[in-house]
Chains A and B, each alone.
Chain A
């Protein structure tokens, strides 16, 4: 469903003004009654629109939708491509490549990403990093962390692991052992299972359509 923002905006403002004027006929615009009506009307109308848009938005961001991929996306190759018509980058989901050497079923993928999210919250990642741009700013944004060139160019070599996911999992378990910057991530005691799950979460998150944020990540052509 396509909802036009201009129509919604004009409609909301128009309805608020008209309804307020109609309810307040007979009183001047400087009287308390006028503004009491305006307060009630604007709160109700805006809340109503928010509820309606929330229902629509939640449908569009349900896992497995066009914007937020299913958890099984961790089995696929993920990339970014410039959409020149829309002037923004969109995630591209490629062929099946597996993850940690296997293809995960729907249930397994859900369990893994779920564990990753729990791990992320339990280690309070958001009080240093940002996710989709939200959080603290002491460490890099993680929106597209899975696609960061540094895993291949630096971390793989440091950890001596064969694949990106193994290198990431190893690094997450011992960030203090592999310094990459004057500001190091502390060792938060991640188990191997937690580290793998966290990598799965990051991979899944990197495939979310974020309306082009961050712009031209890693210089997308």
Chain B
């Protein structure tokens, strides 16, 4: 806070961060929309059949998520970095260029996904339409673009630290992590007919990228957020961050083994993956302790209540979604039956929301405070609590519904039916499964409503409400 510019002034990098945030929020909306379409197709399989198939909706659902979270992370770093290092980010024009390129590329990819959807079985399709590998469907040309944008991002962080002649612990962790972030993505940029080999490296992106490097990235972002939000001393925040990195990488790198149970890989992965992934929730518990302790020490006194609430939701959401729901199915003895069912979807929904969405919303609220009313002693609105509560209920409702559907699949399809086509159909038609899908859709609609409330709050908060104006009067 001490390095902040004069009140009402923003670094160029922070102005850019706002662009990242608004585009991220728009893509968040697209994610919810395509998710709802896909959810509805579970209930009415003939809906848009042959025109906009489930596979396309789902691809857009998960790709929109990846891109908006990445944009949110980059925005968050561009927001905090100049304050962290006490100077403007170097290469701001390059950053703007990367942003515009990324948005243009995303636009083209989405149009191709929607209008072309799929192509013939040859390399052209993989280069220019889709790679067809869940989560990394982006065509090859776009992969190179993503890596280039990541490298520019990394360059900006490193160059800024060098120019500032100051490398804080948080900045050091960030740089270390961004190298891994750009590098690991490349593990997914290859083609092989060998499906075991394919999935081996696919998980380097889907697990090591998302579960390890993203966790550490979000840890650095939350560390910077906490220093500004609660004024937690740097020494404490950095110690926690190091501890978190030690535990996340210490457990998560070999925790990758829980994805190597059934893809053809050797048996030792059953033991290694089971053991290390059972340890994976530990750093998440540590974070909950940290957040509760910090908030308690400060008696929840902060200038920015919505940001504090989302920060605490981050700690709990990460622990429950990634930790508890992940642990439920991580041991090989259970995973043999639960693998590839709606249980995995339930875990995915809770974990991505709890770990990443909440973190980005924390930073967005902090940024809006700075942008709109840095003079306000309390940044507040009537609506944010509604958005917060509705959204948490929405995501928990969806995940609970999918958990029940997943248990049904685990029992009926896997344990009893022997996983055949017929067993799959039996499970899908089971009333517990079908009810689960109905409630998933209902809570999905609920989530859409909460998204709209959130968006409205983000657009309006801190903007000339009578109540706010009165409070400001005393401080102007």
Contacts and interface: CB of A to CB of B under 8 A. Distances in A.
A23 interface: no
B337 A215 contact: yes
A213 interface: yes
A138 to B, nearest CB: 5
A11 to B, nearest CB: 11
Contacts of B55: 124-125, 127-128, 136, 138
Given A32-B239, A39-B245, A60-B266, A122 B197 contact: no
A118 B126 contact: yes
A3 B266 contact: yes
Q: Which of A41, A46, A121, A220 has the most CB of B within 10 A?
A: A121
Contact of A122 (B129, B200, B339): B129
A31 interface: yes
Nearest to B192: A117
Contact of A12 (B254, B259, B266): B254
Contacts of B59: 124, 127
Interface in A22-63: 30-32, 35-36, 38-39, 41-43, 46-47, 49-50, 53-54, 56-58, 60-63
Interface stretch (B46-54, B224-232, B312-320): B46-54
A101 interface: no
Given A133-B262, A211-B261, A213-B336, A141 B424 contact: yes
Interface stretch (A92-100, A142-150, A157-165): A142-150
A221 to B, nearest CB: 11
Given A39-B249, A61-B265, A138-B54, A214 B242 contact: no
A220 B418 contact: yes
A213 B261 contact: yes
Contacts of A56: 266
Nearest to A31: B239
Contacts of B269: 5, 53, 57
A126 B173 CA distance: 35
**Lowest 10 A-B CB distances belong to which pairs?**
A5-B271, A119-B121, A121-B132, A42-B250, A35-B242, A213-B262, A214-B419, A133-B340, A127-B55, A46-B253
Interface string A95-136: 000000000000000100111111111111111101111111
Contacts, number: 278
A37 B342 CA distance: 40
A214 B55 CA distance: 23
A39 B272 CA distance: 20
B369 interface: no
B425 interface: yes
Contacts of B49: 184, 186
12 contacts: A35-B242, A53-B272, A63-B193, A67-B264, A67-B265, A121-B133, A124-B59, A125-B55, A148-B421, A186-B50, A211-B265, A217-B420
Interface string B234-248: 010011001101110
A131 B197 CA distance: 13
A84 interface: no
Contacts of B195: 117, 131-132, 201, 205, 208
